[in-house]
Each structure stands twice: as C-alpha cells, then as structure tokens.
C-alpha cells in the first residue's frame, strides 16, 4: 500500500510560468487527507524558499522543509565534506544554498559546481576546466539534458557540465534524480519505506528511472518530455495531476 508521494515540479506542477491542470487540487487533497508528501526537484537555479513562495501563489501550502532540491543536496554534501570554497557556474539560488552551509564562491576552490546558468560562457568553462585539471572534483547539480520552458527547451546542468567533463576526461559527480541519495533524503523526510512511496515526474531518465532504482513506485506524466525511453517503464502514466487525482485509489492500492 502506498503511503507517501514525492512530486517533481518542472513539467508536473507547472511548465514555465503556467501552473499545470490539477496541481493545486492534488496538493490540497494530500494535505487535507494527511498523506505525507514532498517535492523533489532537480532544478538547479533556486533556493528552497523560492519554491515555497511560488507554490503558495499557486494555492499550494508547502513549507520549505518539504522541498528537496538538488542545490540543497549539493550544499548538504559540501557541508559533510567540510568544503568551504566552490567555483560555481550557476545561479544565485545555488550560491545561496552553498553559502548557508558555509561554502563560499571562490576562484581557488575545493570543488567545481555546475548548474543551469544563462550566463554560461567560454571564460567560465575555461576556468572550470583548469580547476578540474588541477585535480578538483566536478559536481554537476543534475544530470538533466534539457530544461523545458514555455518557449521551448533549454540546455540544463547535465548538458552544461558535459563539455567540462569531456575536456577534462572526468566522470562528474551528479546530484539530484535519478541518483539514490536524494530519494533516501525523501524517505527520511516522509518517514516511509521506498515500496510505500510514489514518485510522480515527467522525465523518464530521472524521475522514473530513479524511483525504479530505489524500489519506489512511479507515475509518469507524459506529453512534456521530448525524448521517450521505451526501456524505462513506469507503473502508471497520466497526462497531468488532475488525472493522477482521479486515479489516486488505484495508484495507492486502496479504496478512496
């Protein structure tokens, strides 16, 4: 029986600036029925407080401690390893999460961190490559290839980190889904076992593959992602959270 939900944001709760159908109703249903839930996002641009405020404007009340983001996971890892300095390609939210655990932006760093960055340029890549060639690890905030926005797809962290990885012949450390660590944080937070939890997401390579790897159930929101992966098969597929809510009894294995 399913007891808890992990929900992706981009493409599931909203696409670009537009809320997706059924998102607020779905969260409000979970809240009013005391069903534990959290969001798990690979998006690398924002601090967790941004999501809490944004969701509130959509009519969804979710405190910051129910939001797991890959920048937060990066910050927790930096703290665990005692890193105080990072070379960051990325946006303010990522830098802020790092600062909060005592890791400052530096040109003489202990690690290179790459997230989504609209100001990604030749100088930054060159700097990052030189640091990695000097033996520092390369952390990529998520392995996502593409970031869907209203006007189309943008290259995400995975794609931006790829040139640095290629140039230095280095295997990056990837954060976010589909890696086990962020899911383990979610199970801890929700106080559930993997097999009692469902991941809802629109990306087969991260949301659905990650859920399968850790033994959780999965709901695929189709029609958002560009590339289909026929080798990754979700437990359920729906168009949006409205359809998920309409079929919640079946997903949870209980009569609603």
CB of 223 to Mg ion, least distance (A): 12
202 is a contact residue toward Mg ion (CB under 5 A)? yes
Distance CA 199, CA 50 (A): 22
Nearer to Mg ion, 11 or 234 (CB): 11
- Write down the H helix ranges in 134-247: 157-168, 180-190, 209-214, 241-246
205 is a contact residue toward Mg ion (CB under 5 A)? no
CB of 48 to Mg ion, least distance (A): 17
Distance CA 10, CA 89 (A): 21
Nearer to Mg ion, 46 or 83 (CB): 46
Distance CA 61, CA 172 (A): 35
CB of 132 to Mg ion, least distance (A): 28
**How big is the chain by its Cα radius of gyration, in Å?**
18
- Looking at beta carbons, which residue is closest to Mg ion? 11
Neighbour-count burial of 150, counting CB atoms closer than 10 A to its CB (0-12 exposed, 13-18 middle, 19+ buried): exposed
Output phi, psi for 144, to 5 deg. -60, 135
Interface pick for Mg ion out of 2, 7, 10, 232 (rule CB under 5 A) = 10
Interface pick for Mg ion out of 11, 109, 115, 172 (rule CB under 5 A) = 11
CB of 53 to Mg ion, least distance (A): 19
Length of the chain: 256
Q: Which residue has the tokens 């209203």?
A: 150
8 is a contact residue toward Mg ion (CB under 5 A)? yes
Site for Mg ion in 12-71 (CB under 5 A): none
Stretch that binds Mg ion, among 70-78, 87-95, 154-162, 199-207 (CB under 5 A): 199-207
Q: Which residues bind Mg ion (CB under 5 A)?
A: 8, 10-11, 202-203
């Amino acid at each position: 029986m399913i007891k808890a939900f992990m929900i992706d944001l981009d493409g599931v709760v909203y696409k670009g600036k537009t809320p997706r159908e059924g998102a607020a109703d779905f969260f409000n249903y979970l809240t009013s029925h005391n069903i534990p839930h959290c969001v798990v996002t690979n998006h690398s641009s924002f601090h967790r407080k941004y999501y809490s405020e944004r969701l509130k404007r959509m009519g969804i009340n979710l405190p910051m401690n129910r939001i797991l983001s890959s920048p937060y996971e990066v910050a927790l890892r930096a703290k665990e390893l005692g890193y105080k300095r990072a070379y960051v390609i990325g946006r303010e939210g990522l830098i802020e999460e790092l600062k909060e655990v005592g890791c400052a932006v530096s040109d003489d760093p202990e690690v290179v961190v790459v997230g989504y960055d609209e100001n990604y340029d030749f100088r930054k890549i060159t700097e990052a490559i030189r640091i990695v060639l000097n033996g520092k690890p390369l952390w990529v905030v998520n392995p996502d290839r593409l970031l869907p926005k209203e006007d189309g797809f943008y290259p995400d962290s995975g794609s931006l980190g790829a040139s640095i990885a290629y140039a230095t012949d280095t295997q990056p450390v990837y954060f976010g889904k589909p890696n086990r660590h962020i899911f383990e944080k979610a199970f801890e937070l929700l106080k559930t076992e993997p097999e009692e939890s469902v991941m809802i997401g629109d990306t087969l390579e991260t949301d659905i593959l990650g859920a399968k790897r850790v033994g959780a159930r999965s709901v695929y929101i189709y029609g958002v992602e560009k590339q289909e992966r026929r080798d990754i098969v979700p437990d359920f597929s729906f168009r949006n959270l409205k359809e998920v809510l309409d079929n919640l009894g079946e997903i949870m294995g209980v009569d609603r």
